[in-house]
Structure 1
Amino acid sequence: MALPVVIVGAGLAGYNLAREFRKLDTETELVIIAGDGADFYSKPMLSNALASNKTAATLVMKSAEKMEAELNATIFARTEVVGIDREKQMLMLSDGQVQTYRDLVLAVGAEPIRLRLGGEAADEVLSVNHIDDFAHFAGKLDGVKRVVILGGGLIGCEFANDLLARGIEPVVVESATTPLPRLLPPQAGEWFATKLQAAGVRFVFGALAGAVHHATGSGFEVELSSGERLGADLVLSAVGLHPNNTLAEAAGLRVERGVVINRQLQTSDGHIYALGDCAEVDGLFLPFVMPIMHAARALAQVLAGNAASLAYPAMPVLVKTPACPTVVSSPAVGALGEWQVNVTEEGVDARFINGQGQLLGFALCGAATKERQSLLPQLPPVLA
């Protein structure tokens, strides 16, 4: 009897792979194992759901049962994979069952980085990484007037902008001197901060959270490295993600920052693949939607027995901050060149140019975002 293709994870990576695979192969048995409820939703929508009046329930686009029927798959929801027997091509599941596989795909995503915070309330700091987290966070917002957000990167700024729709004051603590320090050059970051501040976001730059205490009466007090103490009704951590490597490491797969894969998305085991936020290829760890879509299409071809190789074109990132529309296509890490920045009242047009005059990246804010389509074809691919 033929063994199934098994996908561990039912997020954007897992479900998009399953859809692409079913376009090519309608017969091979397909099994999806999910630690959550396995309902289909778009994770990027979590950070702008409040402004859209979305709840955890209304964010769900299709139930696990509908996905099971649509994909002609068997879906095990709220089931953990506790071990991989590579020799027997078998998974050990949290309910005591085993699941064999022909090919195994790890689409297990990434986990929030946990800050080492002092204080008796440190374990009450929230993070939002999936729909259950969002339901918990949103359920605590009634009556909340101020949320301290730890981290002024992409997710921190998106949540800050989103909280404004609920009339909540966000206070963003960022160790750098400008927001989005990994995406925007300083001048663009300053302009971006000005727009969000005008909308009602407060930034505290050049500081780290050291401890979280219970405040007198109710709420919390966040103690910063500067000595300042910030009062808050809730504290949300948004300092970044790290690939979920636990299962791969325990199975003896090659892991560096993420699970190491080749251009066919194959790990160090010929029958195990990985994609999405848990994987890295050629040193690239790209926890964004577009890389997932390209990877899913390539891996579907490989699993269907066709020749394919992963390639990434330039893939701009849209920052979901309506107070300051922003789109970024970052230059490669270590790229040689310099930012050429044009700041006007209407926006910021920042372009990263090398010594030969070639465009290697851009950061566009405000009205300058209209230049995205004309600049995109000039960029080199991320992975050729």
Structure 2
Amino acid sequence: MHPIVIVGSGLAGYTLLKEFRKRDTTTPVTLVTADGGAFYSKPNLSNALSAGKTAAALAGASAEKLATDLNAVVLVRRRVNAIDTAAQRIHLDTGELDYSSLILALGADPIPHGLSGDGAAAVLAVNDLDDYAAFRHALDGKKHITVLGGGLIGCEFANDLAHAGYAVDVVHLGSWPLERLLPVEAGQRLADSLATLGVNWHFGRTGKAVEQTATGYRVELDNGETIAADVVLSAIGLRPRTQLAQAAGIPVGRGIRTNHLLQTGAPNVYAMGDCAEVEGLNLPYVQPLMVQARALAATLAGTPTPVVYPAMPVMVKTPAHPVAVLPPRVGAAGAWKVECSDTGICALHVDAAGRLQGFALTGSETGRRNALAKELAA
């Protein structure tokens, strides 16, 4: 009997394995990963610095322990080079592996920064535990950090770095942080709170080049302005890993396309997590991933279970000014109704009839997220 094969040891891959073992303790499962296979929660990478946590401290159980505890084979530091969907076989850099079902939990890659200059190769991105270890090493003895991107990850890193005592510049193309998720009032309140913490914003700007200097780097912006930096971190966004599926003839869009059962266009091949586009939705957050893992575990154990998302607010880890957001559906007709207080912003997205379609809460208003989520679900 060929094993169920899971490719990827991030939160998606391991959560699926754990959920499956709750339902089926004996069916062979092999998990393949390009990294060391230790369990860790990727969302914790962007707020570990001020907590004083090293990469080793963030790593939980080892691959060996997880393999034993979950009665699975865990193949570490192995790369999948190709999928043969007809033969139900994957080609690794060390050989071949047949599967009964294949689950692609591949995650996402940082979008290339596109910078020129002799310092461009030194620009860092933090997308896994190894990246975080390299970032921590680069920060040793340094002071001035430039973050490219003021989206969710950029804001979380900016908060974490500033709280840990670093001087932080954030270069962001938008007019306020998280502009794709937040109305201007909420975004501006977040920007102001991070500025109070010491973050220096450069809105409406992009990085063009990074040059080495005698003491570090010089970041050149599109308007000719320059920023002196000891370390440059790119956080301009993530792109689902679709190349492996696409090369195998599996349909992809923004992510690997699946139906509500997480089935791709190839027999017995599923996708989940950051790499998956489920019925047109790519939701690279923890809650959707957990919903997917529970549903797919049941499906693989013999009970076909569609993914049904509840109302899932996204919490942005910016202690300087917390944010909870549940965006309206793409294309939803309506407008933001914004109420501001000294301690927070409550922005409700409502349609012409006054029905709630989404919300953005900051500061003290984030306590309303569960009640509003229930209202949305109803």
Q: TM-score range by the shorter chain?
A: over 0.9
Residue 226 (structure 2) pairs with residue 226 (structure 1):
no
Q: Distance in 2 between matches of 1:176 and 1:10?
A: 33
Asked if 1:66 is matched to 2:37, the reply is no
Distance 2:304 2:7 in 1: 23
Residue 307 of structure 1 deviates from its aligned partner by 2.3
| 2:262 counterpart residue number | 265
Paired with 2:186 and 2:302, the residues of 1 have a C-alpha distance of: 46
Q: Deviations over 1:266-313 (max 9, x none)?
A: 000121000000000121111000010000011111111112111111
**Is the CA contact 2:321–2:363 (under 8 Å) kept in the aligned structure 1?**
yes
Q: Is the 8 A contact 1:360 1:380 kept in 2?
A: no
* Residue 101 of structure 2: aligned partner: 103
1:324 is matched with which residue? 321
| Residue 28 (str. 1) matches residue 5 (str. 2) | no
2:230 maps to 1:236: no
CA distance in 2, matches of 1:311, 1:74: 30
TM-score of the two chains, using structure 1 as the length reference: 0.97
Percent of paired sites with the same residue: 49
RMSD: 0.9
Residues 176-255 of structure 1 aligned to structure 2 (within 5 Å): 176-215=174-213, 217-255=214-252
Find the counterpart in structure 2 of residue 340 from structure 1.
337
Matching residue of 1:142: 140
Which residue pairs with 2:150 in the alignment?
Answer: 152
How many Å separate the matches in 1 of 2:276 and 2:250? 12
Q: Give the 3-state SS of the residue equivalent to 1:218 in structure 2.
A: coil
Map 1:71-90 onto structure 2 (within 5 A).
Answer: 71-90=70-89
> Is contact 1:164–1:170 with CA below 8 Å preserved after alignment?
yes
Specify which of 353, 357, 373 is matched with residue 356 of structure 1. 353
CA distance in 1, matches of 2:50, 2:218: 27
2:186 aligned with 1:172, yes or no?
Answer: no
Compute the displacement of 1:165 (Å).
3.1
Superposed CA deviations along residues 119-156 of structure 1, whole A, max 9, x for unmatched, are 11111110000000000000111121111000000000
Structure 1 stretches (4+) deviating beyond 4 angstroms? none
Cα distance in 1 for partners of 2:327, 2:50 equals 27
For residues 370 and 286 of structure 1, the distance between their equivalents in structure 2, rounded to whole angstroms, comes to 23
**What is the CA distance between 1:55 and its match in structure 2?**
0.4
Amino acid at match of 1:182: R
Tell me, yes or no, if the aligned pair for 1:147 and 1:233 is still in contact at 8 Å: yes
State the SS of the aligned residue for 1:58. Answer: helix
The offset of 1:219, in angstroms, is 0.7
Per-residue CA deviation, residues 163-207 of structure 1 (Å, 9 max, x unaligned), is 123310110000111011111101111111111101111111011
Q: For 1:350, what is the secondary structure of its paired residue?
A: strand
Give yes or no for contact 2:259–2:279 (8 Å, CA) kept in 1: yes
Query: In 1, distance between residues paired with 2:201 and 2:87?
Result: 53
Shift of 1:380: 4.0
Q: Deviations over 1:53-93 (max 9, x none)?
A: 11000101111111101110000001001111112111111
Return 5+ residue gaps in structure 2 as ranges: none
Q: Is the 8 A contact 2:163 2:197 kept in 1?
A: no
What letter is aligned with 1:302? T
Residue 365 of structure 1 corresponds to 362
The reply on whether 1:299 has 2:296 as its aligned counterpart is yes
TM-score between the two structures when normalised by the length of structure 2 = 0.98
Partner in structure 1 of residue 124 of structure 2: 126
Which residues of structure 1 form unaligned runs of 5+? none
AA aligned opposite 1:368: E
Give the whole-Å Cα distance in 2 for the aligned partners of 1:378 and 1:166.
38
Give the whole-Å Cα distance in 2 for the aligned partners of 1:187 and 1:25. 49
Query: What's 1:39 paired with?
Result: 38
Deviation at 1:17, TM superposition (A): 0.4
Which residue among 306, 312, 315 is the counterpart of 2:312?
A: 315
Describe the superposition over 1:197-239 as per-residue Cα deviations: whole angstroms up to 9, x where unpaired: 0111111101111111112x12111110111001100100000
CA contact (8 A) 1:33 1:75 kept: yes
